[in-house]
Amino acid sequence: MICERDDFSLTGPLHLTAIDWANEHHRRSVAASLVQGIYVAERDRQLQREGPELALSPIWSEFFHFRLIRKLVDDADNSIFGGIYEYKPPQPPSHIVKSQELSPRFVIAFRGTVTKADSISRDIELDIHVIRNGLHTTTRFEIAIQAVRNIVASVGCSNVWLAGHSLGGSMALLTGKTIARTGVFPECFAFNPPFLSAPIERIKDKRIKHGIRIAGSVITAGLALAKKSTQQYNQNQNQRALPAPINPFTALSDWFPRVFVNPGDHLCSEYIGYFEHRNKMEELGIGFVERLATQNSLGGILLGGKNMEEPVHLMPSSVLTVNSSPSRDFKQAHGIHQWWREDQKFETKVYQYK
């Protein structure tokens, strides 16, 4: 029996018969559809839907003239967690040639958790790594970053998009961060990526919510300063002086990953407060506190270990898109299908770290 969400003819963006690559809705819809194609490719594998008559995944990319040239396979359970798409459009009409110049040559897409027997245990293991800020230590990440590096080295960063949903959104952000630290900034589409924090955004009273955020910023900034002082003291104890390291957070301030969140999804809704709170702290004249707090995770400071690094969800700049349309439940708020629907209300803001 075919699941409706896997069938492009039932749930896909059939209205996008001609892509305008300068149109943000079109770009977002294509990126989300390619991620959905990876979800369906894994379900095709598990349900043994093989060949042109049974497989449902190809149409999710071929409808937009993309071809899946490589599947990224997890070495632990042989599940398909990502894929590399190549864009092979027909000769465009003269009036949309300029739009085609904005299109990617390759898109590397990552799926989120698939709740099927053949993949759920490994996916949950990766989810736990995200919670513990250890996704960078996994073999799945190593496979992903090597694929990204190879494509970027071959065709250049401007021709490559990264895209992912949920767990895959974290993978897209982490691979994007890793590449961005080399000085090149890939286009990144992260749909419903987890933000690991207490769901303060769900509090309705704005004064209480803002007060909690200020208190959290002050505590986090204070602990971060204490940690930094300890590190400087330990460094001064050494005989030779070491040069001051480049701040890895501020080095990414010119990278603007596109993050897509829904207020009804408690796994990612904190991105809204994370960026808005920074602006409010600036208005109060205590932006310096938030500039330090926004670089650090309270849990990361308290539970930091040698295998942990800066949490994936902490980023200096972003193009944040919020789906403000009401969702009937968490499943709909967290789902990827919302990001290509025409009946949704999207609000986009650009946040730059100063």
Each residue of 244-292: pLDDT tens digit?
Answer: 556 777 889 899 999 999 999 999 999 998 888 776 656 655 545 455 5
Q: Check residue 284 and give its pLDDT.
A: 59
Mean pLDDT of the chain: 84
Residue 214 has pLDDT above 70, yes or no: no
Q: Check residue 239 and give its pLDDT.
A: 52
> Is the model more confident about 68 or about 93?
68
pLDDT band at 54 (very low <50, low <70, confident <90, very high): very high
Cα 198 to Cα 74, 114, 209, 297: the distances in Å are: 31, 25, 11, 11
Q: Check residue 226 and give its pLDDT.
A: 54
Would you list the domain boundaries of the chain?
Answer: 4-202+247-351
* Percent of the chain at pLDDT exceeding 90: 62
> Is the model more confident about 87 or about 197?
87
Q: Check residue 263 and give its pLDDT.
A: 94
**Once rounded to an integer, what is the mean pLDDT over residues 308-320?**
83
**Once rounded to an integer, what is the mean pLDDT over residues 24-29?**
97
Q: Check residue 311 and give its pLDDT.
A: 82
Separation between Cα atoms, residue 243 and residue 234, nearest integer Å = 14
**Once rounded to an integer, what is the mean pLDDT over residues 136-140?**
96
Q: Check residue 323 and give its pLDDT.
A: 97
Q: Of 111, 39, 112, 120, whose CA–CA distance to 77 is shortest?
A: 120
Residues 196-209 pLDDT 10s: 766 665 666 666 65
> Is the model more confident about 31 or about 244?
31
**Once rounded to an integer, what is the mean pLDDT over residues 46-63?**
94
What is the architecture of the domain spanning 4-202+247-351?
3-Layer(aba) Sandwich (3.40)
> Is the model more confident about 66 or about 291?
66
pLDDT band at 45 (very low <50, low <70, confident <90, very high): very high
